[in-house]
């Protein structure tokens, strides 16, 4: 497992084009971002030159400030989504990104029908993403922060991914959203490990840095290790100020090191959940 600095929440006192270089200057080898669209072409050179390899980015989410959380479930926008996936693939190839995060959308009227539509669109998108070696990752968002979103439960999101039955569609597990929804991250990791392809880290309550809330990140990392997860762990928390000051929990020499080294994570330990 390797850290990835999420430039959607970190370094947000800087213009987006400068955040990737700031992540590299802080010691990170990998970074990720929210949606680069519609100005993705202007971001390619700064990202490539930053020194931090882009891991992934968010597919077109709609107007997030207005509450949108994806467009995959919206009737009549299927062909638009497929064109946007082609555009996303071009950006991924240009930057070396490995995955595309796809939010399924807010429920409009008929949740089950809309999830079926989103699943079908994702299957069709795989014809473009899989030949490019890209993985689409689907995320559950908690019902308190995003009450209208169509997938609130991580295990239900994992079932949605399994129903698509494509090697290029997997799950993004956000530890904060799991905890905010009332779940146990350790238990959830074990139940979704077969489709897990990316992880996001933030503490709860508060969505701050590890150590600011109540979550046992040592146990979480140990469970990820035991489950055989070898992907990236995206640091996606609200800094509450300067990013570098918020990173005291992760010493600089560990930011490019395997995630396991940041925690004690013994190989054996008596533990109950």
**Rounded-to-integer distance, Cα 35 and Cα 100, Å:** 10
Burial class, 6, CB count within 10 angstroms (exposed 0-12 / middle 13-18 / buried 19+): buried
**Rounded-to-integer distance, Cα 22 and Cα 5, Å:** 10
Neighbours of 30 (CB within 10 A): 21
Nearest C-alpha neighbor of 237 from the set 211, 261, 262: 211
Known catalytic residue at 260: no
Reduced to 3 DSSP states, what percent helix, strand and coil does the chain have, rounded to the nearest 5? Answer: 40, 15, 40
Catalytic residue among 139, 155, 214, 218: 139
Point out which residues pair with 58 in neighbouring strands: 101
Tokens for 267? Answer: 């190989």
Distances (CA, A) of 44 to 4, 17, 21, 104, 129: 18, 9, 13, 26, 19
Nearest C-alpha neighbor of 32 from the set 8, 68, 59: 8
Known catalytic residue at 139: yes
Catalytic residue among 32, 60, 114, 236: 236
Active-site residue list? 139, 236
């Amino acid at each position: 497992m390797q850290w990835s600095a999420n430039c959607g929440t970190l370094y947000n006192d800087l213009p987006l084009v400068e955040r990737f270089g700031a992540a590299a200057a802080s010691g990170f080898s990998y970074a990720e971002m929210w949606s680069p669209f519609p100005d993705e072409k202007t971001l390619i050179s700064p990202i490539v030159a930053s020194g931090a390899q882009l891991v992934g980015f968010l597919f077109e989410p709609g107007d997030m400030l207005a509450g949108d959380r994806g467009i995959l479930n919206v009737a009549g926008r299927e062909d638009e989504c497929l064109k946007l996936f082609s555009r996303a693939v071009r950006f991924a190839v240009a930057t070396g990104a490995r995955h595309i995060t796809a939010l399924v959308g807010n429920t409009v009227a008929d949740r089950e029908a809309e999830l079926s539509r989103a699943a079908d669109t994702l299957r069709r998108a795989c014809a473009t993403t899989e030949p490019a070696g890209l993985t689409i990752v689907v995320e559950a968002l908690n019902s308190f922060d995003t009450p209208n979103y169509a997938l609130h439960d991580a295990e239900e999101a994992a079932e949605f991914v399994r129903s698509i039955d494509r090697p290029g569609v997997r799950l993004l597990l956000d530890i904060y959203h799991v905890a905010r929804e009332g779940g146990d991250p350790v238990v959830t990791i074990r139940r979704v490990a077969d489709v897990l392809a990316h992880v996001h880290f933030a503490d709860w309550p508060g969505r701050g840095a590890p150590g600011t809330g109540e979550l046992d990140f040592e146990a979480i990392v140990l469970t990820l290790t035991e489950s055989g997860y070898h992907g990236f762990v995206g640091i996606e928390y609200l800094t509450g100020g300067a990013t570098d000051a918020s990173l005291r929990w992760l010493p600089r020499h560990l930011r490019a090191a395997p995630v396991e080294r940041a925690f004690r994570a013994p190989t054996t330990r008596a533990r109950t959940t």
